[in-house]
Structures are given as C-alpha cells and as structure tokens.
Amino acid sequence: MMSGMGKLVKHMRQGTALPVFLRRFFIAGFFVFLFSGVSFSQCVKKVTIRQAFAEIERKSDYKVAFSKGDIDETQQVNFAFSESEKIGKQLKSLLEGTGLSFEIIDDQIIILPQKPDAVKKKSPNG
C-alpha cells in the first residue's frame, strides 16, 4: 500500500498529478479569496427617525440631542448603522429629505431644523 506522498510521486512521474494538485490548489485558493473579504452587510430597515437615533446611541459613543418639536416622530426612514462608515455620512443619508440637519460636537450629535438656503438677490443692473 502506497502512502499519500508515494502516490503523488507516482502520478507526477506519469504527468497526471500536477493538474489534479493545481486544480485542488486553485479551488481552495478561490474559496479562501472569496471568503477573506466577506463583510456581513447590515440589513437596511424601515424605522422611525427616533428609532434610528436610538440605534446610533446604542452602537456608537455618540449621544443624539434633538427638540421633540423639530422632528416628526412617526416619519419612517431607511436605516442601517454601519461601524465601518463615518457617522457624518450616515447622518447625511439618514436625514436626507427630512428637513433636518446635524452638527457633531465632540461626542454629541445635535439635530437641527435645516436652514433655508440663502436667497440670492439680483442687483437691478444684472
């Protein structure tokens, strides 16, 4: 009975071992490559703005401050907190279309009503 190494040497002499070995090597390498960069994406879910703020507080070092009169607590938004994405980018996406903006000061996120764009006045001369 031949050992595994003996079989390999025998097949190498016959010229059949290298392709089988390479096939197995490349298949194994493919799966290692495929799964090495796997990141488990967050599930985007529809939540109220208040629930999104609570999730940010739970999953980060930030505290969210807002005036109840400034937010519509029933408004639904699509949100999934990501630890790998910058908080400012997530907030910008979260608050888009809500009429709200934010400021970050140290570990505080302050939610504010969006400032209306400054109205540009045209001079009478053009």
Q: What is the pTM of this model?
A: 0.58
15 backbone φψ class: left, alpha, beta (φ>0; ψ -120 to 50):
left
- What residue ranges in the chain does DSSP mark as E strands? 45-48, 63-65, 76-79, 100-105, 108-113
Same domain, 109 and 55: yes
Name the residue with higher pLDDT: 83 or 116: 83
| Domain shared by 51 and 32, yes or no | no
pLDDT in tens, 19-74: 666 667 667 666 665 555 544 445 778 899 999 999 999 999 999 999 988 888 88
107 in the same domain as 75: yes
Per the model's pLDDT, the better-predicted residue between 24 and 91 turns out to be 91
Q: Does some domain include residue 9? A: yes
Residues 101 and 52 in one domain: yes
